[in-house]
């Protein structure tokens, strides 16, 4: 199988259908179409996409939503389609997000993640995110568990000032 060099690009509203397709394929609790459009058109943030093959909707494999706050940046969402996972695409998205947040002058990049999302936690730890706290019972029960206990969110941050990757 020939490896195709992934491409990275900032996405706008024209990418809504492709972003929605990736979100529905990759998330148990996907954002709504309205939420995705809001992210794609938010002047205080950006949406980065990563894909393989042609730089077109059919090639989009993942995306991430970055929001600019007064002093920090926040990773609001990141997902890669299940069939494109374990290829380093999320790590490449993280690099783009960190670079953009630094360009904004943000002091930290913040995020929250399900306590059970071990693959995401491994990525964040590899990048250098540290623990900031826990939001108890923040997320609905994971898909497939039906009715059960809500799940904790782990709060993580990456210092952007005085820190080099």
Which residues are catalytically annotated?
112, 124
Which residues partner with 133 through β-bridges?
A: 155
Q: What are phi and psi of 53, to 5 degrees?
A: 80, -140
CB 53 within 8 A of CB 4: yes
Alpha helices in the chain (DSSP H): 16-26, 33-41, 89-104, 118-127
Nearest partner of 159 among 137, 128, 115, judged by Cα: 128
Neighbour order of strands in the sheet with 45-51: 7-11, 45-51, 60-68, 73-80, 108-114, 151-159, 130-139
CA–CA dist 48, 40 (Å, integer) = 9
């Amino acid at each position: 199988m020939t490896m195709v060099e992934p491409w990275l690009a900032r996405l706008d509203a024209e990418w809504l259908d492709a972003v929605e397709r990736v979100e529905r394929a990759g998330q148990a609790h996907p954002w709504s179409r309205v939420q995705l459009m809001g992210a794609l058109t938010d002047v205080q943030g950006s949406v980065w996409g990563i894909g393989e093959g042609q730089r077109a909707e059919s090639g989009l494999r993942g995306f991430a939503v970055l929001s600019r706050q007064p002093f920090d940046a926040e990773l609001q969402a990141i997902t890669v389609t299940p069939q494109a996972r374990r290829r380093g695409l999320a790590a490449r998205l993280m690099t783009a997000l960190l670079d953009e947040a630094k360009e904004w002058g943000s002091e930290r990049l913040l995020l929250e993640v399900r306590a059970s999302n071990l693959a995401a936690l491994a990525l964040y730890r590899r990048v250098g995110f540290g623990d900031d706290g826990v939001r108890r019972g923040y997320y609905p029960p994971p898909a497939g568990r039906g009715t059960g206990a809500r799940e904790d969110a782990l709060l993580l941050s990456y210092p952007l000032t005085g820190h080099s990757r």
